[in-house]
Structure 1
Amino acid sequence: MSLPRAYTHPACATHDPGPGHAERPARLAAVTDAVAAAWPMLEWHHAPAATRGQLSRVHDEALIALVLDTPSADRIALDPDTFLGPGSADAALRAAGAGVAAVDAVMAGQARRAFCAVRPPGHHATGSVAMGFCLFNSIAVAAAHACEHHGLERVAVVDFDVHHGNGTQDIFDTDPRVLFLSSHQAPLYPDSGYASERGVGNVLNAPLHPGAGSTEFRRAWSETLLPALDGFRPQLVLVSAGFDGHSLDPLAQLQLEAADYAWLTGELVAIALRHCQGRIVSMLEGGYDLQALAECSVAHFGALTAALD
């Protein structure tokens, strides 16, 4: 049985935002343990560290220096939710590096799909600001690498995290090579992602009201976001895979279940098969109930295996 290529790194567990923080190291173990139990034959690849040059495609030098060069013997608060600690720089480098390595692997034909089980998440980090638990925007680093290193002209970033990926949108909203599609709860942090936000025609947001469930989620994707993705004819699909829309998640109020993520992933696979030989790179974003996170990751990974044999 063929499987997506899986990336992670022990360093991703060393980023510690502090006691009681929702984005805790146990999240990573919940994902990797569940996926490994479901597919015991799966080989995990160690994520390399991203280089400063790869980061600088999307981030200012000041932010790169802040994350990588700040003495961090103690935990430092960058904002009320986002922290730097002794393990944070290496974790952030490995998270971003996983996306770069996964893009290289699928573009080289070594794999058609890849899943990056990494943390900290990334999609809130803008070009100049670390925020919302995020230090570097790993999915943006991967998208820029696909465009600049591999010469792609149509890269899609699909974001189904319950929180809007404001950082990804901000980085690419004037770059027509990158299509950004997002469903998310609104109102909710970070108070962005309104339908009126269109970039240069390369941004499409589908806000969902608190309490929305499977019906609203699937309608937003099937009627609005997936047709836009299909029409874009992507050469590569990147996924910000946040599972915090699940009904058990403590940080939001959507009522999704694991089956909804499996359904959407299957739809993404079908579009990728039509336009880019099935190439998808998925990167873990949010998801803060450990049971739900494990179940959704298994559902998502399972759907990524479709049509690999």
Structure 2
Amino acid sequence: MSTAIYSHPDCQRHDMGDWHPESPARLQAIADQLIGSHISDLLDHREAPLVDPADLARNHSANAIAIVRDNVPAEGETYPIDGDTSLNAWSWRAAQRAAGAAVAATDAVIDGEIDNAFCSVRPPGHHARPVEPMGFCLFNNVAIAAKHALDVRGLQRVAIVDFDVHHGNGTEEAFRHEPRALMVSFFQHPLYPYCEPQPITDHQVNVPVPAYTKGDVVRRIVTEQWLPALHAFQPEMIFISAGFDAHREDDIGGMGLVEDDYAWITQQMMDVARLYARGRIVSCLEGGYNLSALGRSVVAHLKALAEL
């Protein structure tokens, strides 16, 4: 297997404050664990480009883009978007790199340059609505990449898999009326963003779970609800919103997953991708705020993607 990892130093320059859990240290923790686990040299490291403005506009309104682009503060200052989302001097550039990584990975996978990819980028994306940034997220990286695959590259069906502890409300909204995209997820409820769960449909299987849910329950959800939907849909490509804050050591959420659970979920998606999608998977970092647990979980995820 050829697995690429996309990142860029600009993604570490976006900083919402020393107090903020969505910190630059997250990407460094991942890089350190990849080196410590001796798999970094086995991956194809690629630089995240800036996103094409047309790809941003495919998922986000002009106003949503302007909120980020036009409010970048001076060096050393911050601009608050909401109570837990803000901009610094590097945020616009970092957001362009994060979305650009997802699109570049999508093109590389479709073109057969690589089998799959992980985008080690920030800011994360799955809360970003088509009309506004929110919840640590500026632009919805996975949604942008999935729409690029459909509308630019001509794929007919894509699946989006979200295993973050929080509900991927922005992604759900972006594809609620898009039959070419299947979204499957689980998320702790109630928890931010405190949206009422939507009814499960043929192309949205988003499953709320209570706090303290552990891996055995999640594996049943994947086996009994996600996999039947994925097999019925037969996606031509799979996108993963890879949040690792459902880990038992992560205080942001209250679930009980461990590294083996992330590896197992990833393996199930690999199996589906082999059947219908020529193995094509692009995964993008979402949450995960305990630095040690985050690094270890990403290693488990990447080992499954790269079959190491």
Same fold (TM over 0.5): yes
Is residue 168 of structure 2 the alignment partner of residue 165 of structure 1?
yes
Letter in 1 for 2:274: L
**CA–CA distance in structure 1, aligned partners of residues 39 and 6 of structure 2:** 14
Provide runs of 4+ in structure 1 moved above 3 Å.
none
Relative to the length of structure 2, the TM-score reads 0.96
Range with greater deviation from structure 2 (258-267 or 42-51): 42-51
Residue of structure 1 equivalent to 2:256: 255
Q: CA shift at 1:193, angstroms?
A: 6.1
Residue of structure 2 equivalent to 1:24: 23
Letter in 2 for 1:131: M
Is residue 107 of structure 2 the alignment partner of residue 107 of structure 1?
no
Residue of structure 2 equivalent to 1:156: 159
The Cα offsets for residues 190-214 of structure 1, whole Å up to 9 and x where unpaired, read as 123625254xx31111111101101
Residue of structure 2 equivalent to 1:64: 65
Is residue 129 of structure 2 the alignment partner of residue 121 of structure 1?
no
**CA–CA distance in structure 2, aligned partners of residues 71 and 231 of structure 1:** 44
Q: How does 1:48-197 map to 2 (within 5 A)?
A: 48-73=49-74, 74-192=77-195, 194=197, 196=199
Residue of structure 2 equivalent to 1:36: 35
SS at 2:59 equivalent: coil
SS at 1:204 equivalent: strand
Letter in 2 for 1:28: L
Q: Percent identity?
A: 45
SS at 1:247 equivalent: coil
**CA–CA distance in structure 2, aligned partners of residues 197 and 274 of structure 1:** 24
SS at 2:143 equivalent: helix
Range with greater deviation from structure 2 (42-51 or 81-90): 42-51
The answer as to whether partners of 1:28 and 1:118 remain within 8 angstroms in 2 is: yes
**CA–CA distance in structure 2, aligned partners of residues 104 and 43 of structure 1:** 15
Q: CA shift at 1:49, angstroms?
A: 0.5
Are residues 71 and 40 of structure 1, via their aligned partners in 2, closer, same or farther at CA, if it must alter by over 3 Å?
A: closer
Is residue 230 of structure 2 the alignment partner of residue 233 of structure 1?
no
Relative to the length of structure 1, the TM-score reads 0.96
The answer as to whether partners of 1:193 and 1:207 remain within 8 angstroms in 2 is: no
Q: CA shift at 1:40, angstroms?
A: 3.6
Q: How many residues align?
A: 304
Residue of structure 2 equivalent to 1:211: 212
Q: CA shift at 1:32, angstroms?
A: 2.0
Instruction: Identify unmatched segments of 5+ residues in structure 2.
Output: none
**CA–CA distance in structure 2, aligned partners of residues 64 and 56 of structure 1:** 8
Q: CA shift at 1:173, angstroms?
A: 0.5
Letter in 1 for 2:118: F
Instruction: Identify unmatched segments of 5+ residues in structure 1.
Output: none
The Cα offsets for residues 28-68 of structure 1, whole Å up to 9 and x where unpaired, read as 11112212333142331100010211100000011111211
The answer as to whether partners of 1:195 and 1:204 remain within 8 angstroms in 2 is: no
Residue of structure 1 equivalent to 2:7: 8
The answer as to whether partners of 2:123 and 2:137 remain within 8 angstroms in 1 is: yes
The answer as to whether partners of 1:52 and 1:64 remain within 8 angstroms in 2 is: no
Q: CA shift at 1:168, angstroms?
A: 0.4
Q: CA shift at 1:185, angstroms?
A: 0.5
**CA–CA distance in structure 1, aligned partners of residues 218 and 227 of structure 2:** 12
SS at 2:239 equivalent: strand
Letter in 2 for 1:4: T
**CA–CA distance in structure 2, aligned partners of residues 130 and 253 of structure 1:** 24
Residue of structure 1 equivalent to 2:298: 297
The answer as to whether partners of 1:206 and 1:225 remain within 8 angstroms in 2 is: no
The Cα offsets for residues 252-279 of structure 1, whole Å up to 9 and x where unpaired, read as 1001100000000000000000001111
Letter in 1 for 2:39: W
**CA–CA distance in structure 2, aligned partners of residues 90 and 3 of structure 1:** 28
Letter in 2 for 1:96: A
Letter in 1 for 2:240: V
Q: CA shift at 1:305, angstroms?
A: 1.2
The Cα offsets for residues 13-38 of structure 1, whole Å up to 9 and x where unpaired, read as 00001121010000011112212333
The answer as to whether partners of 1:113 and 1:279 remain within 8 angstroms in 2 is: yes
